């Protein structure tokens, strides 16, 4: 079910003060082919990270001797490793702060094993990007970077250059949470990093063009309230 | 007429003394002149009466002392001009001495009676003004929502009635100083407030204030404060009663809705470990644990949200939101097989709201709609209507009878007579939706025609001019 060849040997640190959840995380990650270390406090996590270099960390927002936000900040002082924070409903503010402090993504409890592994793979992909892909394909959508062309189920779609740029950034980072700032910096440049309204307008236009005309659900671009967008085809 | 005179008496105070003297001389002259024609009709000695009218007028308007002056002058003029021998102050006939003496006595008596009447009338008017003031104070104190609001108006009325530059009614104790005099307002033992007036007022005004106004004001203030306390208590009792009702409902839900998934999970967990369980059965049992656990988790989230809303602790994090994005996010949370069609006006203005809260509200409405529409299409429409963004979630389910429409947003309220297997929600979804929409400054209501379907209407205040 979760056979992930690419995961074999990758090392993950899981940090949560609830032992039952740690046990479950360990089981899920091991069966997906990862090597797992666990920590129950922030200090333990920092010690483990110093001694045992990892490829990514999964960190709970609430820890007995600190919180995920602080942990993210401390890890970011010396490492760019992908970090996923675990949040519960009602911890939205903490979650946003963790993302600002350098977390790459979040996952809301309770979560399924597939969801967790998919998120983990997405952030790890960022850590080692695919070399020079020129045509990106996802769920019926085809983005031809070289030819600047987009097709949905073989049908050519007409995007403006900005929309195309936005779409290709999202598709290159598929599955990953892209913050408003990240998208704005990459597509418009750093000086536009706070122009969320501009981004929102372009996303609305892009969605109108790429999402199937009838039906309700957005298949490709998901909104992450107050944070950003995610290309996550269903 | 009497009212008019009385009004002049009080309002105009006493006319100036100089005018009094002038009027006295004029009246004496007029009366003296009047006696000439009357002398032809009756005996002179009985005509002293003519002067009495003047005496009454003068003493009424200018008081006792000018009245006495008028009496003496009248007696002198009567004697000099009319009592024989005319043109001299001597009197020939001893009977005329009696007449003159009697006139003087009557004149002086009527002077003092007039003065008394004048004082009485003035007093009556003051009393009435004080009674009016008390009535007005009572009305202000008891009609207004807050005692403190009423105090400013009472101070103004009081100052107007006593012709003071200002007057102030304060709650609790306030001390006077060189410019202000503080009169304690006490009801029984308790000090309820203070009447503060400018220092250096006339003694009569201060004694009138402290004798006539302070006791009534203190009593009224105490009643008003007591009433305010009782109203606050009643409000608190009512909200306690209501939260008691919610708690009872929560307990009922806990005993059933929380316990049944836990029971199922424990049973399934135990069954997995039983010998001879096939892999297929194990898979099924695992699925059951996940399903029931998810249900439990949802219910706990709902209870948490509701208790936060109930305690006004669900403070929205307001930010500019695109309604289209909120609807999309709410839709993403629905099961993949739900039939929902979205129609959003292209030029919809953004709203200022907490994205996550509005998303939860809409997700609950969508879930409710898909649950009751039994596979028929649910339509979500969003339009801009005069400063509001109006979102309608329309289902073609069985509809809601009018009697239930008012109660449908209450926690744990379920319309009676529904088949239990249709209902699988926590019974909190609509209450939470209403709570979150209203916390974000929006409105929510339901329109329904039984047999045809329901439409939940959410209105959120639009940001009219979007940020550039």
Tell me: do A88 and A155 sit in the same domain.
Answer: no
Architecture, CATH, for domain B237-310: Orthogonal Bundle (1.10)
How much is the average pLDDT of A159-179?
90
Report for A190-194, B28-32, B98-102, B456-460: range of highest mean pLDDT: B456-460
The domain made up of B127-232 has a fold known as Beta-Lactamase (3.30.450)
| Residues in B touching A223 (Cβ below 8 Å) | 325, 328-329
How much is the average pLDDT of B169-178?
82
Select from B303, B327, B328 the residue whose CB has the most chain A CBs within 10 Å, as the one to mutate to test that interface.
B328
Contact B302, B432 (CB under 8 A): yes
Report the run of H or E that residue B382 belongs to, with start and end. Answer: strand B378-385
Nearest residue, CB atoms, B304 vs list A90, A203, A217: A90
Residue B440: how many other CB atoms lie within 10 Å: 22
Contact B364, B433 (CB under 8 A): yes
- A127–B contact, CB cutoff 8 A: no
- CA–CA min distance A183, chain B (Å): 17
* Selected residues 6-65 of chain A with any CB under 8 Å from a CB in chain B: none
Tell me: do A177 and A213 sit in the same domain.
Answer: yes
- Of B322, B171, B446, the C-alpha closest to A204 is B322
Strand A105-108 versus strand A66-67 pairing type: unpaired
Say yes or no for a CB contact (<8 Å) between A112 and B290: yes
Residue range A85-102, pLDDT digits in tens: 998 866 778 888 898 888
Residue showing tokens 């659900």: A217
Nearest CA in chain A to B342: A216
pLDDT of residue B7: 47
Write the CB contacts of B147 (distance below 8 Å, at least 6 apart in sequence).
B141, B171, B221, B224, B225, B228
pLDDT of residue A4: 44
Residue range B223-276, pLDDT digits in tens: 888 888 888 888 888 777 777 776 776 677 667 777 888 888 998 888 888 888
Alpha carbon distances (Å) from B249 to B62, B252, B253, B343: 80, 5, 6, 37
Nearest residue, CB atoms, A204 vs list B294, B322, B356: B322
**Pairwise CA distance, residues B52 & B34, whole Å:** 13
Say yes or no for a CB contact (<8 Å) between B336 and A234: yes
pLDDT of residue A193: 86
| Residues in B touching A218 (Cβ below 8 Å) | 328, 331-332
Write the CB contacts of B359 (distance below 8 Å, at least 6 apart in sequence).
A225, B326, B329, B330, B333
A122 vs B7, residue with greater confidence: A122
Q: Is A11 helix (H, G, I), strand (E, B) or coil?
A: strand
Say yes or no for a CB contact (<8 Å) between B322 and A200: yes
Tell me: do A88 and A122 sit in the same domain.
Answer: yes
Tell me: do A46 and A18 sit in the same domain.
Answer: yes
Residue range B50-77, pLDDT digits in tens: 888 888 888 888 878 888 888 888 888 8
Select from B287, B302, B303, B324 the residue whose CB has the most chain A CBs within 10 Å, as the one to mutate to test that interface.
B324
- A234–B contact, CB cutoff 8 A: yes
Domain that holds residue A212: 135-231
Q: Which two tokens stand for residue A88?
A: 């519960």
pLDDT of residue B6: 47
- Of A162, A168, A166, the C-alpha closest to A180 is A166
Using a pLDDT cut of 90, give the percent of chain A over it: 36
Q: Where are the domains of chain B?
A: 2-124, 127-232, 237-310, 319-461
Chain B residues interacting with chain A (CB cutoff of 8 angstroms): 290, 293-294, 297, 301, 304, 308, 317, 319-322, 324-326, 328-329, 331-332, 336, 340-342, 350, 355-356, 359, 380, 466-468
* Selected residues 76-95 of chain A with any CB under 8 Å from a CB in chain B: 89-90, 92-93
pLDDT of residue A3: 43
Q: Which two tokens stand for residue A202?
A: 């372009």
Residue range B376-388, pLDDT digits in tens: 889 999 999 888 9
Tell me: do A121 and A174 sit in the same domain.
Answer: no
Report for A16-30, B129-143, B170-184: range of highest mean pLDDT: A16-30
Which of A85, A101, A127 is at the close of a domain?
A127
Which CATH code fits B319-461? Answer: 3.30.565.10
Q: For chain A, how many structural domains are there in total?
A: 2
- CA–CA min distance A223, chain B (Å): 6
> What is the full DSSP assignment across B233-285?
HHHHHHHHHHHHHHHHHHHHHIIIIIHHHHHHHHHHHHHHTSTT--HHHHHHH
Give me chain A's average pLDDT, please.
85
Write the CB contacts of B218 (distance below 8 Å, at least 6 apart in sequence).
B185, B186, B187, B192, B193
Contact A72, A98 (CB under 8 A): yes
Write the CB contacts of B150 (distance below 8 Å, at least 6 apart in sequence).
B140, B141, B143, B144, B224
Residue range B28-45, pLDDT digits in tens: 899 888 888 888 888 887
pLDDT of residue B199: 85
Residue range B279-305, pLDDT digits in tens: 998 999 999 998 888 888 888 888 888
Residue showing tokens 């959410």: B458
Say yes or no for a CB contact (<8 Å) between B317 and A226: yes
Write the CB contacts of B373 (distance below 8 Å, at least 6 apart in sequence).
B339, B395, B396, B397, B453
- Of B336, B357, B368, B326, the C-alpha closest to B455 is B368
Residue range A50-81, pLDDT digits in tens: 898 899 999 998 888 888 899 999 999 989 89
Which of A97, A127, A157 is at the close of a domain?
A127
Contact B319, A96 (CB under 8 A): no
Q: Report residue B104's pLDDT band, with 50, 70 and 90 as the boundaries.
A: confident
Residue range A128-142, pLDDT digits in tens: 666 666 787 877 788
Q: Is A48 helix (H, G, I), strand (E, B) or coil?
A: helix
Residue range A36-51, pLDDT digits in tens: 999 999 999 999 998 9
Residue A82 pLDDT more than 80?
Answer: yes
Tell me: do A32 and A80 sit in the same domain.
Answer: yes
Q: Report residue B429's pLDDT band, with 50, 70 and 90 as the boundaries.
A: confident
Nearest residue, CB atoms, A225 vs list B336, B341, B359: B359
Contact B288, B264 (CB under 8 A): yes
Residue B229: how many other CB atoms lie within 10 Å: 11
CATH of the domain at A141: 1.10.10.10
Contact B460, B438 (CB under 8 A): no
* Selected residues 200-219 of chain A with any CB under 8 Å from a CB in chain B: 200, 203-204, 214-218
Say yes or no for a CB contact (<8 Å) between A197 and B466: yes
A128 vs B323, residue with greater confidence: B323
Torsion of CA B258, B264, B267, B272, to 10 degrees: -130
Alpha carbon distances (Å) from B50 to A61, B55, B267: 107, 9, 119
Tell me: do A144 and A110 sit in the same domain.
Answer: no
Say yes or no for a CB contact (<8 Å) between B328 and A218: yes
Tell me: do A9 and A123 sit in the same domain.
Answer: yes
- A129–B contact, CB cutoff 8 A: no
Contact B290, B417 (CB under 8 A): no
Tell me: do A101 and A160 sit in the same domain.
Answer: no
């Amino acid at each position: 079910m979760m056979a992930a060849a690419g995961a074999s040997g990758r090392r993950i640190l899981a940090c949560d003060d609830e032992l039952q959840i740690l046990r479950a995380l360990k089981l899920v990650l091991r069966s997906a082919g990862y090597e797992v270390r666990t920590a129950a406090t922030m200090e333990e996590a920092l010690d483990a990270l110093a001694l045992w270099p990892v490829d990514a960390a999964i960190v709970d927002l609430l820890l007995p001797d600190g919180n995920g936000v602080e942990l993210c900040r401390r890890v970011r002082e010396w490492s760019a490793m992908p970090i996923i924070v675990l949040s519960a409903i009602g911890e939205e503010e903490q979650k946003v702060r963790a993302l600002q402090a350098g977390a790459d993504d979040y996952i809301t409890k309770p979560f399924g094993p597939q969801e967790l592994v998919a998120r983990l793979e997405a952030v790890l992909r960022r850590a080692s990007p695919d070399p020079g892909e020129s045509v990106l394909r996802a769920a019926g959508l085809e983005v031809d970077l070289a030819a600047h062309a987009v097709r949905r189920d073989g049908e050519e779609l007409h995007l403006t250059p900005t929309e195309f740029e936005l779409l290709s950034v999202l598709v290159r980072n598929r599955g990953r949470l892209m913050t408003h700032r990240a998208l704005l910096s990459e597509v418009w440049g750093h000086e536009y990093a706070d122009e969320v309204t501009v981004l929102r307008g372009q996303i609305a236009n892009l969605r109108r063009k790429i999402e199937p005309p009838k039906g309700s659900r957005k298949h490709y671009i998901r909104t992450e309230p107050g944070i950003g967008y995610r290309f996550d085809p269903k | 007429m009497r009212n008019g005179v009385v009004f002049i008496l009080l309002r105009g105070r006493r006319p100036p003394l100089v005018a009094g003297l002038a009027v006295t001389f004029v009246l004496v002259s007029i009366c003296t002149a009047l006696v000439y024609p009357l002398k032809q009709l009756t005996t002179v000695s009985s005509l002293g009466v003519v002067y009495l009218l003047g005496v009454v007028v003068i003493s009424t308007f200018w008081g006792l002392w000018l009245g006495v002056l008028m009496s003496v002058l009248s007696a002198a003029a009567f004697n000099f001009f009319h009592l024989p021998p005319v043109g001299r102050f001597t009197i020939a006939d001893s009977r005329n001495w009696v007449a003159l003496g009697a006139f003087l006595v009557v004149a002086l008596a009527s002077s003092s009676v007039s003065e008394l009447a004048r004082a009485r009338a003035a007093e009556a008017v003051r009393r009435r003004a004080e009674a009016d003031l008390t009535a007005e104070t009572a009305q202000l104190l008891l009609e207004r929502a807050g005692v403190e609001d009423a105090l400013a108006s009472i101070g103004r009325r009081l100052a107007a009635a006593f012709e003071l530059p200002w007057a102030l009614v304060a709650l609790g104790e306030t001390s006077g100083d060189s410019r202000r005099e503080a009169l304690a307002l006490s009801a029984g033992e308790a000090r309820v407030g203070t009447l503060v007036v400018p220092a250096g007022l006339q003694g009569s005004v201060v004694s009138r204030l402290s004798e006539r106004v302070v006791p009534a004001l203190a009593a009224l203030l105490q009643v008003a404060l007591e009433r305010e306390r009782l109203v606050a208590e009643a409000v608190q009792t009512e909200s306690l009663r209501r939260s008691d009702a919610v708690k009872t409902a929560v307990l009922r839900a806990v005993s059933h809705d929380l316990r049944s998934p836990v029971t199922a999970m424990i049973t399934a967990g135990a069954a997995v470990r039983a010998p001879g369980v096939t892999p297929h059965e194990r898979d099924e049992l695992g699925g059951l644990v996940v399903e029931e656990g998810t249900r439990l988790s949802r219910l706990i989230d709902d209870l948490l949200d509701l208790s936060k809303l109930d305690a006004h602790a669900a403070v929205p994090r307001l930010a500019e939101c695109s309604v289209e994005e909120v609807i999309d996010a709410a839709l993403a949370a629905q099961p993949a097989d739900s039939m929902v069609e979205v129609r959003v006006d292209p030029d919809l203005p953004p709203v200022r709201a907490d994205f996550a809260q509005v998303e939860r509200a809409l997700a609950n409405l969508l879930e409710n709609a898909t649950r009751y529409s039994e596979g028929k299409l649910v339509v979500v429409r969003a339009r801009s209507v005069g400063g509001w963004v109006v979102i309608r979630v329309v289902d073609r389910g069985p509809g809601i009878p009018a009697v239930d429409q008012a109660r449908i947003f209450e926690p744990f309220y379920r319309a009676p007579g529904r088949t239990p297997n249709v209902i699988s929600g926590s019974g909190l979804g609509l209450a939470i939706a209403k709570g979150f929409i209203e916390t974000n400054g929006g409105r929510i209501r339901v329109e329904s025609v039984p047999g045809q379907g329901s439409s939940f209407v959410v209105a959120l205040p639009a940001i009219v001019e979007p940020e550039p």
